[in-house]
């Protein structure tokens, strides 16, 4: 089934002449079957390639063959493979620059950039001698070169503009920036997409990925309403057959919504194997600070790995609020003794808390608008509003 | 990547001969480079910081110092010059800062490995962290906290990357584990990084991902719990934790105190908001780590009314001056006390941490 190198190259040529970006992309993909073709493992393919293809496509393909060559070695030489993939990516930039008013080769760019990221990840894993994240950052630089060409293509019509490739690249870059913990680099990318006049005409799968990352970023910036909006979009538009992707979105969406006062349904958590949140929600609802801490502690590693530990920690003040609301429900008066709140904290098992800290916690809840009222220090009492002293979280 | 050879320094003096000759000739010596008490006799010169520029030649081996010499340079600066009391501290700081910067530049040019880099940069971090506090009351023309912060952050980023690299090596190659001393220095610097970046999610994320040995270290644990409490909004625990931090880290925290106090006072103006009721001063002093005089200053600055006898405070939320700038950092008595109990050169050079 595998032909000679010449067969491969004429296939490439045909795809290019037909303006068939998808097909050409497949010829350059490291996930395609052609990578198993031993006839293509050529250490110096330049001459051969130049005979068939015009520049800069010859460089794209030549570098690709070198990547195959280095990956076929035993053990695979990831570092060299990466370097040639980066060269291939730079050649794609030239290819893009050459094409005015046409964008059929965008799939080629997607493919080459995607493989560049995979190879960078492989280098990070297998190679030594550089600071962690360095190769990924370099890969991001290569992609940025592509991005700039795409973003600058403002004159072509809406169907032919290379700007349509921006979102795909932005998503790739997000994946890198999230991995190397450099979220501040996302900001200019988001702005570029926001300024796009046709931002709704990007393909739906890309939009879902985009919203997922933008939502997560908003979450880190403590911009929770935005986060819920974006993540909800991603969740509702993601088709049901991508269950693991939906689960991934929920991991962030559920705690952010909890922070805004929405508790998740158990049936849904069950469907996505996220019952941990059910336990958290129960402790939260009951105002059981101690139990809440215990669950967080028990699942610490899972929460840290999925990047929501800090978010879950923020729920703590809501747990306090729910506990204090119960004190109000029991006492049924608008002048509540501060000592009662302290007792409540001690009752649920918080041992290392003082009256001063109780004051500070309640002060904070008042400041955030989660309790309506004021504290009288002299009488050691919290005086709550006659109307709606514990406003629902959804409205605050 | 690994087989490229970088220039290795061969100079064994603090200042290469070429530069020394030039600067003596052109009379470009710093006060500390003249011989003790004499005006025109050159003493110990230390290589100046110069930027890499397009027209400058690639430095030669004889213009760069050996690793041992760089170590001795750092020690000389942070001990002999640092303890020199003939000039005000901001002057001392400027000199040391510049000369350390040239050490940093050589580390980059000579491409030192993580271990070498860590040993040289860690003391610089300590020095800047300390100076940031010591000079916090100086006017901007004598000391620029922003530039100091920037360089401190840069140095921290460099060593953190080095730590990560060593972690990875230790995992993949079973290379030698860090000594107890090295580990302790790292715990201290990691804790310092956390407090210096109080309130930033990046630092917290790093803190969560660190190897278990670091996370279980007492100092780191304390620093990290302060940051987590800050993140949650529990300022009470932040304030209670700060004074427990060791000397230099506590000094770093000192720079954050005014922001914390401001937030606390702002929260209180909402929580204790009342035209009739007051809150006793003693309670506030205890929660803000302030002295009575400074509390009065804070109240005046943010427009919070005190009773005539200054024994209590009126909190009225509409009167709090939201647009007032946060008060500039001050020296704090409890931090000064901590610092007075240690021998600074030893701590700055991390020879002994005095914990």
Chain B touched by A154 (CB under 8 Å): no
Contact B67/B118 with Cβ under 8 angstroms? no
Q: How many Cβ pairs closer than 8 A exist between chain A and B?
A: 93
Confidence class for position B202, pLDDT limits 50, 70, 90: confident
Q: How far apart are CA A368 and CA B270, in angstroms?
A: 9
Q: How far apart are CA A123 and CA A120, in angstroms?
A: 5
Within 8 A of A310 by CB-CB distance, chain B residues are: 201, 204-205, 208, 231
Residues of B with CB under 8 A from a CB of A: 1-2, 161-162, 164-165, 168-169, 172-173, 201-202, 204-206, 208-209, 228, 231-237, 264, 266-268, 270-274, 277-280, 283, 286-287
Domains and CATH numbers, chain A: 5-189 (no CATH), 203-314 (no CATH), 318-395 (1.10.10.10)
DSSP A130: S
Q: How far apart are CA B49 and CA B151, in angstroms?
A: 14
Q: What confidence score (pLDDT) does residue B37 get? A: 67
* B286-342 per-position pLDDT tens digit: 999 999 999 999 999 999 999 999 999 999 999 999 999 999 999 999 999 999 999
Q: Please classify residue A27 by burial: count the beta carbons closer than 10 Å to its beta carbon, then call 0-12 exposed, 13-18 middle and 19+ buried.
A: buried
The answer to whether the CB atoms of B232 and A366 lie below 8 A apart is: no
Contact B120/B70 with Cβ under 8 angstroms? yes
Q: Which candidate, B27, B72, B7, places its Cα nearest to that of B46?
A: B72
Q: What confidence score (pLDDT) does residue B4 get? A: 55
Using DSSP's 3-state secondary structure scheme, residue B228 falls into helix
Q: Which candidate, A128, A123, A121, A198, places its Cα nearest to that of A163?
A: A198
Max Cα separation, chain A? 92
Find the CB nearest A363 among B165, B202, B267.
Answer: B267
Alpha helices in B14-144 (DSSP H): 17-25, 67-75, 89-109, 114-134
Q: How far apart are CA B83 and CA A290, in angstroms?
A: 51
Chain B touched by A131 (CB under 8 Å): yes
Contact A276/A302 with Cβ under 8 angstroms? yes
Find the CB nearest A374 among B208, B266, B272.
Answer: B272
Chain B touched by A313 (CB under 8 Å): yes
Q: Which candidate, A356, A367, A372, A335, places its Cα nearest to that of B280?
A: A356
Task: Output the six-digit token pair for B335.
Answer: 């931090």
Find the CB nearest A363 among B164, B172, B268.
Answer: B268
Q: How far apart are CA A95 and CA A112, in angstroms?
A: 12
Q: Please classify residue A304 by burial: count the beta carbons closer than 10 Å to its beta carbon, then call 0-12 exposed, 13-18 middle and 19+ buried.
A: middle
| DSSP β-ladder status, B312-314 and B305-306 | antiparallel
Q: How far apart are CA B73 and CA B13, in angstroms?
A: 9
The answer to whether the CB atoms of A181 and B205 lie below 8 A apart is: yes
DSSP B11: B
- Structure-derived torsion over alpha carbons of residues A156, A162, A164, A166, reported in degrees to the nearest 10: -130
The answer to whether the CB atoms of A367 and B235 lie below 8 A apart is: no
The answer to whether the CB atoms of A366 and B271 lie below 8 A apart is: yes
The percent of residues above 70 in pLDDT, for chain B, comes to 97
Task: Output the six-digit token pair for A13.
Answer: 């040529």
User: Which of B167, B233, B264, B288 should one mutate to test binding to chain A, selecting the residue with the greatest count of A CBs within 10 A?
Assistant: B233
Within 8 A of A183 by CB-CB distance, chain B residues are: 201-202
Confidence class for position B1, pLDDT limits 50, 70, 90: very low
Q: How far apart are CA A115 and CA B152, in angstroms?
A: 37
Q: What confidence score (pLDDT) does residue A382 get? A: 97
Kindly report which listed range (A173-187, B47-61, B235-249) carries the lowest average pLDDT score. B47-61
Kindly report which listed range (A154-158, B45-49, B87-91, B278-282) carries the lowest average pLDDT score. A154-158
Confidence class for position B256, pLDDT limits 50, 70, 90: very high
Using DSSP's 3-state secondary structure scheme, residue A381 falls into strand
The residue ranking higher by pLDDT, A146 or B168, is A146
Stated as kind and residue range, the H or E segment containing A307 is none
The per-residue pLDDT string of chain A (396 residues; one tens digit each, 9 = 90 and over) reads 578 999 999 999 999 999 999 999 999 999 999 999 999 999 999 999 999 999 899 999 999 999 999 999 999 999 999 999 999 999 999 999 998 888 999 999 999 999 999 999 999 888 876 777 889 999 999 999 999 999 998 888 888 889 999 999 999 999 999 988 888 899 999 999 988 888 888 999 999 999 999 999 999 888 999 999 999 999 999 999 999 999 999 999 999 999 999 999 999 999 999 999 999 999 999 999 999 999 999 999 999 988 899 999 999 999 999 999 999 999 999 999 999 999 999 999 999 999 999 999 999 999 999 999 999 999 999 999 999 999 998 876
Task: Output the six-digit token pair for A345.
Answer: 């904290």
Mean pLDDT, chain B, rounded, equals: 92
Domain borders along chain B are 1-112, 133-257, 272-328
Q: How far apart are CA B110 and CA B67, in angstroms?
A: 10
Question: Which pTM does this prediction carry?
Answer: 0.86
Within 8 A of B1 by CB-CB distance, chain A residues are: 79, 129-130
Among chain A residues, CA nearest to B313: A377
Q: Before B251, cis peptide (omega within 30)? A: no
């Amino acid at each position: 089934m595998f032909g000679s190198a010449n067969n491969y190259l004429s296939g490439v040529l045909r795809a290019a002449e037909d303006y068939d970006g998808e097909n050409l992309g497949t010829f350059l993909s490291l996930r395609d079957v052609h990578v198993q073709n031993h006839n293509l493992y050529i250490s110096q393919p330049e001459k051969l390639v130049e005979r068939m293809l015009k520049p800069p496509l010859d460089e794209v393909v030549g570098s690709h063959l070198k990547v195959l060559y280095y990956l076929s070695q035993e053990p695979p030489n990831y570092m060299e493979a990466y370097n040639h993939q980066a060269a291939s990516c730079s050649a794609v930039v030239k290819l893009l620059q050459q094409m005015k008013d046409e964008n059929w080769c965008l799939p080629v760019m997607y493919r080459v950039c995607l493989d560049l990221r995979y190879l960078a990840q492989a280098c990070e894993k297998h190679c030594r001698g550089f600071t962690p994240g360095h190769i990924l950052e370099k890969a991001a630089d290569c992609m940025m070169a592509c991005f700039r060409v795409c973003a600058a293509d403002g004159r072509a019509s809406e169907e032919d503009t290379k700007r349509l490739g921006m979102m795909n690249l932005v998503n790739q870059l997000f994946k890198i920036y999230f991995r190397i913990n450099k979220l501040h680099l996302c900001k200019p990318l988001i702005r570029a997409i926001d300024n796009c006049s046709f931002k709704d005409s990007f393909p739906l799968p890309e939009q879902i990925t985009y919203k997922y990352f933008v939502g997560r970023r908003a979450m880190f910036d403590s911009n929770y309403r935005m986060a819920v909006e974006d993540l909800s979009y991603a969740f509702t538009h993601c088709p049901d057959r991508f269950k693991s992707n939906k689960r991934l979105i929920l991991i962030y969406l559920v705690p952010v919504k909890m922070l805004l006062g929405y508790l998740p349904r158990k049936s849904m958590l069950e469907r996505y194997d996220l019952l941990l949140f059910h336990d958290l929600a129960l402790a939260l609802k009951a105002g059981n600070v101690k139990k809440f801490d215990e669950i967080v502690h028990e699942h610490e590693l899972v929460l840290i790995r999925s990047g929501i530990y800090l978010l879950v920690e923020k729920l703590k003040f809501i747990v306090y609020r729910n506990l204090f609301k119960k004190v109000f429900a029991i006492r049924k008066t608008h002048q509540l003794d501060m000592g009662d709140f302290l007792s409540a904290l001690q009752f649920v098992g918080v041992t290392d808390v003082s009256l001063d800290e109780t004051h500070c916690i309640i002060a904070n809840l008042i400041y955030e608008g989660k309790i309506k009222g004021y504290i009288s220090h002299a009488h050691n009492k919290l005086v709550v509003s006659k109307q709606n002293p514990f406003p629902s979280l959804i409205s605050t | 990547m690994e087989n490229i050879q970088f220039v290795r320094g061969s100079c064994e003096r603090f200042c290469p001969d070429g530069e020394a000759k030039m600067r003596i000739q052109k009379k470009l010596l710093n006060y500390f480079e003249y011989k003790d008490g004499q005006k025109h006799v050159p003493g110990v010169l230390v290589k100046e910081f110069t930027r890499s520029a397009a027209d400058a030649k690639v430095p030669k081996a004889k213009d760069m110092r050996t690793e041992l010499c760089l170590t001795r340079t750092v020690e000389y600066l942070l001990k002999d010059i640092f303890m020199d009391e003939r000039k005000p501290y901001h002057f001392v700081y400027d000199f040391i800062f510049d000369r350390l910067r040239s050490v940093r530049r050589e580390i980059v040019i000579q491409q030192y490995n993580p271990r070498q880099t860590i040993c040289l940069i860690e003391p610089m971090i300590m020095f800047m962290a300390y100076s940031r506090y010591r000079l916090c009351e100086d006017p901007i023309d004598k000391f620029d906290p922003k530039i100091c912060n920037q360089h401190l952050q840069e140095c921290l980023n460099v060593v953190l990357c080095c730590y990560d690299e060593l972690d990875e090596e230790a995992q993949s190659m079973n290379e030698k584990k860090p000594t107890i001393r090295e580990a302790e220095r790292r715990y201290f610097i990691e804790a310092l990084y956390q407090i210096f970046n109080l309130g930033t999610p990046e630092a917290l994320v790093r803190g969560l991902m660190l190897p278990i040995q670091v996370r279980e270290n007492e100092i780191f644990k304390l620093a990290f719990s302060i940051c987590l409490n800050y993140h949650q909004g529990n300022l009470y625990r932040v304030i209670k934790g700060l004074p427990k931090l060791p000397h230099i880290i506590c000094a770093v925290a000192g720079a954050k105190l005014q922001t914390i106090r401001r937030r606390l006072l702002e929260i209180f103006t909402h929580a204790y908001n009342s035209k009739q009721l007051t809150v006793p001063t003693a309670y506030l002093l205890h929660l803000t780590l302030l002295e009575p005089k400074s509390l009065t200053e804070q109240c005046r600055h943010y427009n919070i009314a005190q009773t005539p006898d200054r024994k209590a405070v009126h909190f009225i939320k509409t009167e709090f001056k939201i647009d007032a700038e946060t008060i500039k950092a001050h020296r704090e008595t409890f931090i000064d006390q901590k610092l007075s109990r240690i021998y600074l050169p030893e701590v700055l050079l991390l020879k002994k941490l005095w914990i």
